Amino acid sequence: MLFEIVTIFPEFFGAAGVEANGTRESLGSGILGHGILERALRQGLAEVKTYDLRNFTHDRHRTVDDRPFGGGEGMVLKAQPLFECLETLQLQPKGQRGERERVVLLSAQGRRFTQAEARRLATFERVVLICGRYEGVDERVSQMLCDEELSIGDYVLSGGELGAAVVVDAVVRLLPGVLGHADSSRYESFGEGDEPAETMTADGVPRATHGSGGLLDYPHYTRPAEWNGMTIPEALGGGDHLVIRRWRRQAALAKTLANRPDLLQNADLSNDDREYLAELGWPPDAG
């Protein structure tokens, strides 16, 4: 899978960059040069190219922004360098890209990026990410070049570089061969939540080590069993796998209720789940 990132800070990523003259940079020490992403890039499971937007300007100051029409605070990224940059990528025209290519603008006005969006983007062969900056991007870029706008959260960042890195990380780890086990990305917080019936016990406890079912992941513990006066939950130390699975399911329910109760509205909940949540006071208006 190929990611192409258009930015005024290509050194932020430290990935294999492509300049306007076609020269390439080696994998560096930026945010993509570590951990799972670095391994995926070095193994050829994914590729990231960065394009310095300033290389597509034509004035001595390499200007990429200008004041907004109508007045107001801040500056806006100009359409001209973005159009020229994307023209060099030889993409299909907007509306004709099919299921191979996608052009995404990282923007505070975009649709919220979720795990489901990451899975959808992972089906494309080529994704171009445009990093917004300043007060925004000339709207003609979105209208004429971009297939969609995405935001990584309901807050404002200085630019789209962090958002682009988040998108690449979330998508790459879903690609075949990137993680150590094929199910590693399924059974975790915001996982697919599709537990086939044959993987459930008669009392509704997943046979799998964990199955999110739309919930946050359960808490994890490792050795030693007692540290600093705190011990692991008794259920985890007894070796009874049914007891462990039941504890993990209830712990995931409790953590989701505490941190993201909104997820419970669409989670795949059994009758036992609902009874347990009722004991914890969910839903709030239950009585």
pLDDT in tens, 57-72: 999 999 999 999 999 8
Higher pLDDT pick, 259 / 28 = 259
Q: What percentage of the chain reaches a pLDDT higher than 90? A: 77
Question: What's the angle, vertex CA 106, arms to CA 103 and CA 107, rounded to 5?
Answer: 130
Higher pLDDT pick, 220 / 181 = 220
pLDDT for 34: 87
Higher pLDDT pick, 89 / 25 = 89
pLDDT for 25: 46
Rounded to whole angstroms, the Cα distance separating 197 from 229 reads: 41
Average pLDDT of every residue of the chain: 87
Higher pLDDT pick, 186 / 207 = 186
Q: How would DSSP label each residue in 111-144?
A: EEP-HHHHHHHTT-SEEEEEE-BTT-B-HHHHHH
Residue 208 confidence class, pLDDT cut points 50, 70, 90:
very low
- DSSP strand pairing (230-231 vs 226-227): antiparallel
Q: How would DSSP label each residue in the chain?
A: -EEEEEES-GGGT-S-BB-TTS-B----SSTTSSHHHHHHHHTTS-EEEEEEGGGG--STT---EEPPTT--SS-EE-HHHHHHHHHHTTPPPTT--TTTEEEEEEEEEEEEP-HHHHHHHTT-SEEEEEE-BTT-B-HHHHHHT-SEEEESSSS--SBSHHHHHHHHHHHHTTSTTTSSSTTTTTSSTT------GGGB-TTS-BSSS---TTSPPPP---S-SEETTEE--HHHHS--HHHHHHHHHHHHHHHHHHH-GGGGGTS---HHHHHHHHHTT-STT--
pLDDT in tens, 180-192: 755 555 555 566 5
pLDDT in tens, 230-251: 999 999 999 999 999 999 999 9
Mean pLDDT of 90-117: 96
Which domains does the chain show, CATH number per domain? 2-172 (3.40.1280.10), 197-279 (1.10.1270.20)
pLDDT for 12: 93
pLDDT for 212: 67
Rounded to whole angstroms, the Cα distance separating 122 from 172 reads: 7
Kindly state the tokens that stand for 178.
């990137």
Residue 15 has pLDDT above 80, yes or no: no
Kindly state the tokens that stand for 284.
């709030």
Rounded to whole angstroms, the Cα distance separating 230 from 103 reads: 49
Task: Check: CB of residue 8 under 8 Å from CB of residue 51.
Answer: no
- DSSP strand pairing (47-52 vs 2-7): parallel
Residue 31 confidence class, pLDDT cut points 50, 70, 90:
confident
Residue 16 has pLDDT above 60, yes or no: no
Residue 268 confidence class, pLDDT cut points 50, 70, 90:
very high
pLDDT in tens, 125-148: 999 999 999 889 999 999 999 999
Task: Check: CB of residue 246 under 8 Å from CB of residue 206.
Answer: no
pLDDT for 206: 53
Residue 103 has pLDDT above 80, yes or no: yes
